[in-house]
Amino acid sequence: MKHYTIKMFRTDYNTNEKCLRAIFNNRYGKDFECPKCHAKGNWYLIERRKRFDCSCGFGIYPLAGTIFHKSETELKDWFFAIYLFASSRNGVAAKEIERQLGVTYKTAWRMAKQIRLLFSQGNQVLSGMVEADETYVGGKRRGKRGLGAEGKTIVFGMTERKGKMKAQVVPNAKRATIFPILNSTIKKNSTVLTDELHIYQTVAEHGYNHDTVKHKIYEYVRGKVHTNSIEGFWSQLKRSLDGTHHAISPKFLQQYVDEFVWRYNNRGETLFPLLVAEVAKRCVSGVGKMI
């Protein structure tokens, strides 16, 4: 399924019951075995309690430990907010959720913050040809640009050629900061591609093949040697942050970086079902509250 349309969404998740069943099925599966009587798939919903009970009387609260836990907002509204995130290339501002759902800005901001928890990056190791680069986020400012610019937040990233990527906010662009991240993320003997910045001069000493492009002399591609993939990601990230959110506190920037890395890593996929499935993966515990 290449596209999940709004028409499909309105059919699949137009009630709180359908949304609750989707969470239960993604978290436990339709044939989940009752821990008490060991019957399989013998669950019925008590909607007003947001609980599934087995015929033996054992009950499960599937929302416990999820981003919806203790929320008074209707589940179908939560699901629509998730749909907005999945269907937007440039992210969703809290003001947009406020307008679409008719909730307060405080509620919309909390919903957006909770949904972004679904985008946290995994622990995958990158290999092959891997581009590494850093960027500076914080809008246009007077004074020095790039390395050493004041008042901006640094993000360091690595991306496999036509593969996955990882990125994180860092306090500075020094070797002592960058290389522990690089060493723990990129498999040894991979080829690391960077620009000519001095912090990357010792990459080969860490067990990698290393090639550079020299941007200072306007060299951007030399055969297969370039950093265009990760620089394209930086461009998309900055356009989205500037166009959708306008200004972001450094305190929360990592959440937005996680969101766009997740989008990049799942490009070509139908995002809404993946996000619904992520609700179960990001639970505080593997099993919801049981009674």
**Ordered per-residue pLDDT tens for the chain, 291 residues:** 568 899 999 999 999 999 999 999 999 988 899 999 999 988 999 988 999 999 899 999 999 999 999 899 999 999 999 999 999 989 999 999 999 999 999 999 999 999 999 998 888 899 999 999 999 998 665 555 555 566 799 999 999 999 999 999 999 999 999 999 999 999 999 999 999 999 999 999 999 999 999 988 888 898 999 999 999 999 999 999 998 988 888 999 999 999 999 999 999 899 999 999 999 887 754 445 555
Dihedral sign, Cα of residue 181, residue 182, residue 187, residue 188: negative
Residues 200 and 171 in one domain: yes
In a domain, 261, yes or no: no
Whole-number Å distance between alpha carbons of 74 and 47: 12
H helices within 248-291, ranges in order? 253-265, 271-281
In a domain, 158, yes or no: yes
Residues 94 and 12 in one domain: yes
Backbone angles phi, psi at 125, to 5 degrees: -95, 135
In a domain, 259, yes or no: no
60: which residues sit within 8 A by CB, 6+ positions away? 24, 28, 43, 51, 52, 53, 287, 288, 289, 290, 291
In a domain, 255, yes or no: no
Residues 235 and 280 in one domain: no
Number of independent structural domains in the chain: 2
Whole-number Å distance between alpha carbons of 263 and 90: 10
Residues 151 and 110 in one domain: no
Domain hosting 205: range is 129-250
Helix (H) or strand (E) holding 46: strand 43-46
Residues 113 and 14 in one domain: yes
Residues 82 and 143 in one domain: no
Residues 175 and 109 in one domain: no
In a domain, 1, yes or no: no
Q: What is the pTM of this model?
A: 0.89
Residues 68 and 147 in one domain: no
In a domain, 92, yes or no: yes
Residues 73 and 165 in one domain: no
